[in-house]
Amino acid sequence: MADAAGGTPEQGGLFASSKGLLGTGVKLLHNRLELLGVELAEERVRLISLLAYGAAAFLCIAAGLIFLAIFLTVMLWENNRLLALGVFSALFLGAGGVSLALAMSRARAGSKLFSGSLAELRKDRDALSARDGGGPK
């Protein structure tokens, strides 16, 4: 049936439904982008605190180890100064090698940045695919 404006009631309903679906899609996209922004801010704060605490720990431990090495070398100066210097050199180089290996393995492991957002986007995709009757593509 045609109304006075020349359109059918089904067309107005379809247009309104499409407009509502588009609005819902925009809101969903907006929420996902906000989630990405929040995750990015959280990761930035975590990295800054990690760097600050790591730098402080590094400086304190390095200074403590150097003073301990000097103390023990001076204490053993008369009898075993070369042995003391050799042992401390080996310890420092070994600790540096282990630290480098740990840092490299963590760098290869990658970051979990945006993992929550990606999981939510996967859920959205699966829900939309299930609604359309098809599986994930």
Residues 6+ apart with CB under 8 A from 76: 83, 84
Q: Which pLDDT score, from 0 to 100, does residue 134 have?
A: 54
Tokens, residue 1: 């049936």
Is a pLDDT exceeding 70 seen at residue 14?
yes
Q: Cβ-count burial of 54 within 10 angstroms (0-12 exposed, 13-18 middle, 19+ buried)? A: exposed
Residues 6+ apart with CB under 8 A from 72: 84, 88
Tens digit of pLDDT for each residue in 19-36?
Answer: 788 888 888 888 888 888
Cα separation of 42 and 34, whole Å?
12
Q: Which pLDDT score, from 0 to 100, does residue 1 have?
A: 46
Domain ranges (residues) in the chain: 9-132
Q: Which pLDDT score, from 0 to 100, does residue 52 have?
A: 92
Cα separation of 56 and 49, whole Å?
11
Angle at 66 between CA 52 and CA 55, to 5 degrees: 5
Nearest to 61 by CA among 90, 97, 107, 96: 96
Residues 6+ apart with CB under 8 A from 30: none
Q: Which pLDDT score, from 0 to 100, does residue 122 have?
A: 80
Tens digit of pLDDT for each residue in 53-100?
Answer: 988 988 888 888 889 888 888 888 888 888 888 888 898 889 888 988
Is a pLDDT exceeding 70 seen at residue 132?
no
According to DSSP, residue 76 is labeled: T
Q: Which pLDDT score, from 0 to 100, does residue 12 have?
A: 63
Tens digit of pLDDT for each residue in 94-123?
Answer: 988 898 898 888 888 877 767 777 777 788
